[in-house]
Structure 1
């Protein structure tokens, strides 16, 4: 039996997949603690895992990259100490991208660590950094940009990280030197991404495999109100943008549904989406694993987790990317023939949204083909096998 600490920072989507990974490790005899936000503890508890609180919360509202970074910088030393506490007894640290502070804790403790990531982050010739652009910069440009963005992501924390390393009694190690050492030592990582959805490029490092998605538990099912609505007619359109919000998004949704006149389930989310009509049901949080397979089309913001859930359901989807990696996932949906080209939030109109929804059913065969391939992947099992090589 190994004692494993998983460190993850962010929103619900940045935590729930790690509980699935932790549950898979527990099933094979390990003892797992997840270090994350107190506000997300219930997901850790539901998975039967140990919990350690990180002293940072992001509050209500959309979590922009700027707000995430500024909040973390303000709490960086405290976060490092909170990671060090459960690491005292750990045999291995598994670190999400924003949990790389644990790399220094593991060095101080003399125990192994490895990455556990939910988006393809490796510098590669095949595509540029996810949050930069979906347009290729050429092979050399893509790889160079990937290295540059990886470094830039650590620079806001460099000074606080240096102070924390000194507190741990470690020699100085800046971000550039850290990544060079990771490459030299072949620091391992596992990616909770399906190779069906993102085929590993030729220059992808073998010691950082894409294992398949780490699906969270399906939950207890749908609410009675939603179940009754679904039972009462043809499969509806689903529209929800999660924690994303932007001016005009609610108006575009209402206008598109008025034009279509179709049955629809609208999830309020941070954007406060709503629509009127006896054929429309407005909901709050419901489990995607139960809901999406019962819909005709899924309209979403292109988040990694929501995209994966739509693909798993075998339902055509329309991505409306707002920011960050969402355009990348929207383009992957189109490349897999699982939906039309994404409709960027910046150009969203009722007419464009309605048109994309009308086009989506033609992609059902492609969506079903992807779902069949995802159904035979065992992401957590493959990840556990890789983790066993390390600790």
Structure 2
């Protein structure tokens, strides 16, 4: 099948490349000339394990190409997938302007029948909105569909090629048959449903997972007050098959491009139809303040942070990505400067995302080449992202390099005990003693 993917962000580039891996002829189109130039030079503009190799492989096979010529791309394919950004607006609603611009472009250049698919995460009713825009501009027949993505940054290639389900929302048999041809080679269970249900499935899935994270974080905050250990609690409830053990890792909250945006988006969808989605509003509220747990714990040790040296390890919102959108690290570092009135030395290390962080953090931040360089003579270290390069250090030896051995583990990823020297503080953890 011939497919055009409009938008080369995480969703568009990864999905388009993986469709080409299945043998489809894929054109990835974008108006960003610099990004397309990079891709045509076989340079992947995002950090995503395995993606660079698949791009090179499928360009050599002739299954994958990149262009800024949207008109040519649209009219060279049977299926057009819209995968442009849909950021949150200040009121929590979804910015549909990029999707609408693409719809207008399609409407102006389409020459024959196409299946037009919303691949971006968009509110319920978006397929009808896109349909209306295109129909005003052309008499050419087409069908709309919704095929939401369920990829996770850091394991996006695996999630597309070996996902747990594919959801296809359609309202015509022709579109259904064509999209089944596209997706059956993946060998993944396919759910065919109506378009509004497909649109809502994506929001419901991400919001439910976000709810699990906020729930276990509140349990962690409660555990500290009643003398329990959240790791034991999570193990106990996670062994119940009705609950499951995934997304029960207490810490400093969720970030990234999806959960913060989709929880707000679901609340806004509900507000638009007069439904007060109270439980989801609390999920958002819990997450907004959870990152403060590490700075509060730091202040319990140092009531005055002025003149202190704090090492912050990990910047990306999760391991195996360089994405800093809604990353707790950015909020934590800014809060440290705020608490010390700027009179503080903050050093940081991240194996991938320090270049991107320079555009978001105060100029005073010192970027280090290793974990060791970050923590030498530090008064405390805060672990924000559980990169393997950080977790796998010899921590009992490493903390001997610090001025004061204070480790605040925002991800509960270390197995330190205070008998090994210094102070180790997790989230919702009891003091660990051997």
TM-score bracket, shorter-length normalisation:
0.3 to 0.5
Q: Which of 1 and 2 has greater Rg?
A: 2
Higher relative contact order, chain-length normalized (CA < 8 Å, sep 6+): 1
